């Protein structure tokens, strides 16, 4: 066995509690308690089709109902494709997972029930795998055989290979040869054929699986392909990371997905010449996202992040990381993970140290990253936080929301990033992934074409943080070394220049927005608030005039044409939250409600609308408990000068020089 030495297994057996073993068995009951079922043809499609199209939540999978799939929200039944094929993909995943988990249980208990099930699964897949027909059609993805995309093929083969490693010595030579030739080698050769020449988390997983199979089979050509070829593991690490350690796709979920692949390989290779830990970006990748935890204890749902993936639950990464590369940061990550759950899990058993050091959970902190393009400003006194996304375009899993913001008050997201849902659900491409459903500028309700922002000025003191960034669609479009599908409207954004200056003060955010709009396109400065609209007496009901993602907006109202607006929102379990808006020309505000994530409740939307050739807007976000901040005056000429009324009769005079980035506060 390659994964653990005999002495390591003995130590693991001694540490394994009855509760751990019971949990591991229970997690695989659906495979253990049924006859071994393996598809005889390549019938499985994509697990991300297995979502309710209305609510964006995963359907309830039932081993007894391969042709009936129900929404857990309202019980609605879905039949036929794409749900039937996704049901089989789920079964393939359970079988693959059981190969590893039950193989481990065999090592821990010696119970031949587990050995027999792993052997049966592997032999059945080896029987059919060479004859599965290639099929696919999943956006951005190569084909599969057992499944419909190359990534899913890699995921299953990784667990098949690791499960085989656990039971190999108990199989006959004929069975070993049969599984190695017809399943593992067939799988590795297929993955090598279909690994794509691109930077991508998928290619990390594909490389890792090829490498693991190479280690288990002692096949040097597989190991070399996985590690050292162009677009192999080292190439991905060298070219796919910023200097701070952020994975180029800009999604923290996919950052960790790429790391998960790396560590699946490293857990086998760590004591061999093939360890990847000597790559300088390896540890950077492990550490960097931990600095982006918000004051709600979760990661921001930047870009593609299905609801739930924003939670810090990565014991499978940090138990191993703390053992191999102990540091205070990893100890804090584990302290965060185990705040509300027991450490009684398999990752701690297999890879963890006997006793974790005392550490406090991770806390929100201010951070500014020039290359990764994320600035997080945290007001510890009031427990408020601001995140500003001025990140370069990240390809497939990016969202079209340059210069977007997230705002929290007292640890609650009030201007959230929604992330997304399962990619096979209509809400993914139809709603969540679009510019119009983010807190940024939308033109003609179309998606921003890929562009890399320019950070113009950044300054931070004890009392104020300023971030000034610009996107200029006169510049060359952003390019990534990754395949993309055009899902934007370059024509709408032609010659648009958008500059957004954020000034983060004690209990308020002031933003200065300026848009050059030479073709007088429809501009919508968009905000969605996790709350309800209040103070609507200066607006009237209208039919929703929007097309595209926000065509689904309900209870739409339009304000009077005004140069200033006050928008008030009711926030659950908090005092009201308000926005004070000033624009250089009279404008209207369109308001309504559209889905939150999950789509079982709604958010309040406000769109500040203008088609001016030069559109300037100042927005004051009042985060105070008194809700007493407001504009006294705004003067926008070469500079911006604002006089703000604060609580207790105080005033604040603020001037910002766009040319020098000089901020004056009196």
Binned at pLDDT 50, 70 and 90, residue 589 comes out as very high
- Give the pLDDT band (50/70/90) at residue 274: very high
> Is 660 a member of any domain?
no
**Does residue 547 belong to any structural domain of this protein?**
yes
Residue 506 has pLDDT above 90, yes or no: no
> For residue 257, what pLDDT is reported?
95
Distance of alpha carbon 144 from alpha carbon 153, whole angstroms:
6
Asked if the structure places residue 323 within a domain, the reply is no
Q: Which of 138-142, 275-279, 435-439, 539-543 is least confident?
A: 138-142
Question: DSSP string of 558-587?
Answer: EE--EEEEEEEEE-TTS--EEEEEEEEEEE
Q: Quick one: 532 and 583 in the same domain?
A: yes
In a domain, 584, yes or no: yes
Number of folded domains that form the chain:
3
What distances in angstroms separate CA 73 from CA 52, 58, 77, 365, 433, one per listed residue? 9, 10, 11, 36, 23
Integer Cα distance of 344 and 610 in angstroms: 56
**Is the predicted pLDDT of residue 61 greater than 90, yes or no?**
yes
pLDDT tens, residue by residue, 187-238: 999 999 999 999 999 999 999 999 999 999 999 999 999 999 999 999 999 9
Judge whether residue 648 has pLDDT over 90: no
* 601: confidence class by pLDDT, cuts 50, 70, 90: very high
| Confidence (pTM) | 0.94
Q: For residue 192, give every residue at least 6 positions away whose Cβ sits within 8 Å of its Cβ, in sequence order, or none.
A: 210, 222, 225
In this structure, the answer to whether residues 48 and 179 fall within a common structural domain is yes
CA-to-CA dists, residue 400 to 2, 203, 207, 309, 441, angstroms: 44, 23, 29, 20, 10
Is 519:494 a contact under the CB 8 Å cutoff? yes
Q: Please say if the pLDDT value at position 173 is more than 90.
A: yes
pLDDT at 638 over 90: no
Share of the chain above pLDDT 70, in %: 100
**DSSP labels for 82-137?**
THHHHHHHHHHHHHHHHHHHHHHHHHHH--HHHHHHHHHHHHHHHHHGGGPPPB--
pLDDT at 538: 83
Q: Extract the tokens encoding 608.
A: 């500040």
236 and 180 in a common domain = no
Percent of residues, the chain, with pLDDT higher than 90: 97
Strands 497-505 and 465-472, by their bridges, are: antiparallel
CATH number (domain holding residue 79) = 1.50.10.100
Residues 562 and 617 in one domain: yes
**Confidence band, pLDDT 50/70/90 cuts, at residue 649:** confident
Mean local confidence (pLDDT), 149-171 = 97
> If you average pLDDT over residues 8-32, what whole number do you get?
95
Residue 8 in this model has a pLDDT that exceeds 90: yes
Nearest to 578 by CA among 407, 436, 448: 407
155 and 28 within one domain: yes
- Is residue 553 a part of any domain in this protein? yes
* Domain around 49: 1-194
Is 440 found in the same domain as 557?
yes
Cα–Cα distance, 333 to 314 (Å, whole number): 9
- Indicate the pLDDT class of residue 535, thresholds 50, 70 and 90: confident
Do 184 and 157 belong together in one domain? yes
pLDDT band at 537 (very low <50, low <70, confident <90, very high): confident
Question: What's the pLDDT tens digit per position in 337-374?
Answer: 999 899 999 999 999 999 999 999 999 999 999 999 99
pLDDT at residue 536 tops 80: no
- Within a domain: 629: no
pLDDT for 611-626, tens place per residue?
Answer: 999 999 999 999 999 9
SS3 379: strand
Residues 244 and 163 in one domain: no
């Amino acid at each position: 066995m390659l994964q653990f030495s005999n002495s390591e297994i003995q130590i693991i057996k001694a540490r394994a509690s009855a509760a751990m073993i019971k949990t591991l068995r229970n997690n695989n009951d659906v495979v253990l308690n049924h006859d071994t079922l393996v598809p005889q043809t390549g019938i499985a499609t994509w697990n991300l089709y297995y979502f309710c199209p209305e609510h964006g939540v995963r359907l309830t999978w039932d081993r007894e109902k391969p042709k009936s799939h129900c929404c857990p929200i309202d019980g609605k039944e879905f039949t036929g494709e794409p749900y039937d094929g996704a049901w089989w993909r789920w079964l393939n995943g359970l079988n693959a997972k059981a190969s590893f988990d039950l193989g481990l249980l065999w090592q821990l208990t010696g119970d031949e029930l587990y050995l027999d099930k792993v052997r049966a699964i592997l032999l059945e897949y080896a029987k059919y795998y060479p004859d599965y027909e290639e099929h696919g059609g999943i956006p951005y993805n190569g084909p599969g055989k057992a499944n419909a995309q190359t990534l899913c093929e890699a995921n299953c083969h990784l667990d098949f290979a690791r499960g085989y490693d656990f039971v190999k010595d108990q199989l006959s030579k004929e069975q070993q040869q049969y599984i190695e030739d017809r399943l593992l080698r067939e799988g590795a050769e297929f993955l090598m054929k279909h690994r794509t020449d691109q930077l991508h988390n998928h290619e990390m997983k594909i490389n890792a699986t090829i490498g693991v199979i190479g280690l288990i089979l002692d096949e040097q050509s597989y190991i070399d392909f996985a590690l050292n070829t162009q677009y192999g593991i080292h190439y991905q690490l060298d070219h796919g990371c910023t200097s701070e350690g952020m994975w180029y796709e800009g999604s923290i979920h996919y950052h960790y997905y790429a790391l998960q692949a790396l560590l699946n390989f490293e857990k086998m290779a760590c004591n061999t010449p093939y360890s990847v830990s000597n790559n300088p970006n390896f540890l950077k990748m492990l550490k960097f996202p931990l600095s982006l935890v918000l004051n709600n204890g979760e990661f921001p749902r930047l870009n593609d992040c299905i609801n739930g993936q924003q939670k810090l639950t990565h014991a499978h990464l940090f138990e191993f990381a703390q053992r191999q590369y102990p540091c205070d940061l990893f100890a804090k990550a584990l302290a965060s993970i185990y705040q509300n759950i027991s450490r009684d899990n398999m990752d701690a058993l297999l890879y963890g140290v006997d006793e974790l050091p005392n550490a406090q959970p991770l806390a929100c902190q201010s951070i500014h990253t020039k290359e990764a393009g994320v600035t997080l400003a945290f007001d510890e006194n009031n427990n408020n936080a601001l995140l500003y996304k001025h990140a370069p375009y990240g390809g497939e899993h990016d969202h079209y929301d340059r210069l977007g913001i997230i705002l929290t008050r007292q640890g609650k997201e009030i201007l959230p990033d929604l992330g997304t849902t399962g990619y096979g659900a209509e809400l993914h491409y139809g709603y969540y992934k679009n510019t119009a459903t983010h807190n940024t500028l939308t033109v003609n309700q179309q998606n921003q074409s890929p562009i890399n922002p320019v950070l113009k000025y950044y300054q931070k003191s004890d009392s104020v943080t300023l971030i000034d960034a610009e996107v200029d669609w006169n510049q060359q479009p952003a390019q990534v070394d990754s395949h993309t599908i055009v899902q934007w409207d370059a024509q709408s954004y032609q010659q648009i220049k958008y500059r957004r200056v954020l000034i983060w003060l004690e209990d308020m955010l002031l933003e200065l927005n300026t848009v050059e709009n030479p073709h007088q396109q429809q501009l919508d400065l968009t905000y969605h608030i996790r709350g309800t609209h209040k103070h609507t007496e200066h607006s009237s009901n209208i039919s929703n005039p929007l097309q595209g993602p926000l065509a689904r907006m309900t209870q739409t109202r339009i304000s009077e044409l005004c140069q200033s607006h006050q928008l008030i929102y009711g926030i659950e379990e908090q005092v009201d939250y308000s926005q004070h808006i000033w624009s250089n020309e009279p404008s209207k505000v369109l308001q309504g409600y559209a889905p939150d994530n999950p789509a079982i409740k709604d958010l309040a939307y406000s769109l500040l609308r203008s088609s001016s050739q030069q559109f300037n807007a100042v927005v004051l976000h009042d985060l105070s408990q008194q809700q007493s901040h407001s504009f006294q005056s705004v003067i926008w000429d070469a500079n911006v000068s604002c006089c703000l009324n604060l609580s207790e009769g105080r005033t604040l005079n603020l001037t910002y020089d766009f040319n020098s980035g000089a901020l004056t506060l009196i």
